Structure 1
Amino acid sequence: MTRHQRIRRNTLRAIFMAIIILQDLVPFFGNIPLGPLSITTLHVTVILAAITLGPGEGAIIGGTWGILTWIRAFVAPTSPLAPLVFTNPLVAIFPRIMIGVVAGYLFRLVVHYCHSQRLAAILAAAAGAITNTGLVLGLIYLFYRTPAVAHAYGVNVSHLLPALLAIMATNGLAELLLAVIIVPLITLPVLEVRRRLGQ
Structure 2
Amino acid sequence: MNKKNKTFRIVILGMLSSIIIIQTTIPFLGYIPMGPLSLTIIQVTVIIAAIVLGMKDGAIVGGVWGMITFIRAFVAPTSPIAPLIFTNPLVSVLPRILIGVVAAYVFHRMLSGKLNETVRMSIAGVLGSLTNTILVLGLIYLLYREPYANFLKMDMEQLLPALLTIVATNGITEAILSGVLAPIISKPLLKLRRK
Pair in the same fold by TM > 0.5:
yes
Return 76-85 or 93-102, whichever deviates more: 76-85
Structure 2: unaligned runs, 5 residues or longer:
none
Displacement of 1:37: 8.3
Aligned residue for 1:90? Answer: 90
Displacement of 1:81: 2.9
Deviations 1:70-95 (A, max 9, x none): 11111112223322211111100000
- Change in CA separation of 1:70 and 1:34 when aligned onto 2, cut-off 3 Å: farther
In the aligned structure 2, how far is the partner of 1:193 from the partner of 1:5?
Answer: 10
Aligned residue for 2:168? Answer: 169
What does 1:50-129 align with in structure 2 at a 5 Å threshold? Answer: 50-129=50-129
Tell me if structure 2 keeps the 8 A contact 1:36–1:81. no
Return 114-123 or 46-55, whichever deviates more: 114-123
- Change in CA separation of 1:10 and 1:36 when aligned onto 2, cut-off 3 Å: same
Aligned residue for 1:179? Answer: 178
Count of aligned pairs between the two proteins: 195
In the aligned structure 2, how far is the partner of 1:10 from the partner of 1:20?
Answer: 15
Deviations 1:66-120 (A, max 9, x none): 0000111111122233222111111000000000000001001255231410110
Tell me if structure 1 keeps the 8 A contact 2:69–2:92. yes
Q: Percent identity of the aligned residues?
A: 50
Aligned residue for 1:189? Answer: 188
Give the CA RMSD over aligned residues. 2.1
In the aligned structure 2, how far is the partner of 1:178 from the partner of 1:112?
Answer: 22
Secondary structure of the equivalent of 1:128?
Answer: helix
Indicate the structure whose relative CO is greater, using CA pairs within 8 Å and at least 6 residues apart.
2
Tell me if structure 2 keeps the 8 A contact 1:118–1:184. yes
Deviations 1:147-181 (A, max 9, x none): x3113334222211111111110110121111011
Q: TM-score, normalised by structure 2?
A: 0.92
Q: TM-score, normalised by structure 1?
A: 0.90
In the aligned structure 2, how far is the partner of 1:9 from the partner of 1:66?
Answer: 21
Aligned residue for 1:8? Answer: 8
In the aligned structure 2, how far is the partner of 1:107 from the partner of 1:81?
Answer: 35
Structure 1: unaligned runs, 5 residues or longer:
none
Secondary structure of the equivalent of 2:39?
Answer: strand
